[in-house]
Chain A
Amino acid sequence: DTGVSQDPRHKITKRGQNVTFRCDPISEHNRLYWYRQTLGQGPEFLTYFQNEAQLEKSRLLSDRFSAERPKGSFSTLEIQRTEQGDSAMYLCASSLGGGIEQYFGPGTRLTVT
């Protein structure tokens, strides 16, 4: 399968714990995006990378959130000191450049108890 993959698919954690999600984009895609989706809403942009450079971060991405894309391949999104309001679906997408079709992974559903 050459699509976008995400791991884990589901994560349940207690408030205050740290969590890390991984995204593997389509191999030749130089752009990688993270979005967050809460129940009943459309996804909201969090951040994106062009190769290994993080070029834009939404104000939704508080200082508890950090994302990396070492070597321009896979990406990780870490949330420190999780809060109940962090419960959401975290979606990753990739594309071959800007302004064109983005391909989404299956998402990681985070539940903070």
Chain B
Amino acid sequence: KQEVTQIPAALSVPEGENLVLNCSFTDSAIYNLQWFRQDPGKGLTSLLLIQSSQREQTSGRLNASLDKSSGRSTLYIAASQPGDSATYLCAVITLLNDYKLSFGAGTTVTVRA
């Protein structure tokens, strides 16, 4: 069974600081890994998807890396802004169950102005 862990559970930083969010998973036989953003009481917004054959993906101030062999991914958010305050979730799809995203519990980020 795929287990996904996100550390830390919560993070508070001053505006302008870079954010580093960690995700680990136990089964490295994955199709891909997705990072999502969730605002309070809202649905999920997909931020980045990394295929299993890729090492990283970038979109604007966001960069996500994937080390499949060690079962780890890191999401970097450069020059954080108060609007980045949200919960960030990572999720993986394994080769065995190509229909099911397995999610971590998320990291709740607060960027202080």
Q: Which residues of A pack against B, CB within 8 Å?
A: 6, 31, 33, 35, 40-45, 48, 55-56, 89, 91, 93, 98-107, 109
Number of inter-chain CB pairs below 8 Å = 64
Indicate if the CB atoms of A102 and B105 lie closer than 8 Å: no
Q: Known contacts A42-B103, A42-B105, A55-B99; is A104 also within 8 Å of B32 by CB?
A: no
Residues on B with C-beta less than 8 A from A98 are: 98-99
| Residues of B65-103 whose CB lies within 8 A of A | 89, 91, 93, 95, 97-103
Task: Determine how close the nearest CB of chain B comes to the CB of A53; give it in whole angstroms.
Answer: 12
Residues on B with C-beta less than 8 A from A102 are: 34, 46, 101
Among B45, B93, B99, which residue has the most Cβ atoms of chain A within 10 A?
Answer: B99
Q: Given B49, B95, B100, which contacts A48 in the complex, CB threshold below 8 Å?
A: B100
**How many B residues touch the partner, as a band?**
20 to 34
Q: Given A6, A43, A45, A99, which contacts B98 in the complex, CB threshold below 8 Å?
A: A99
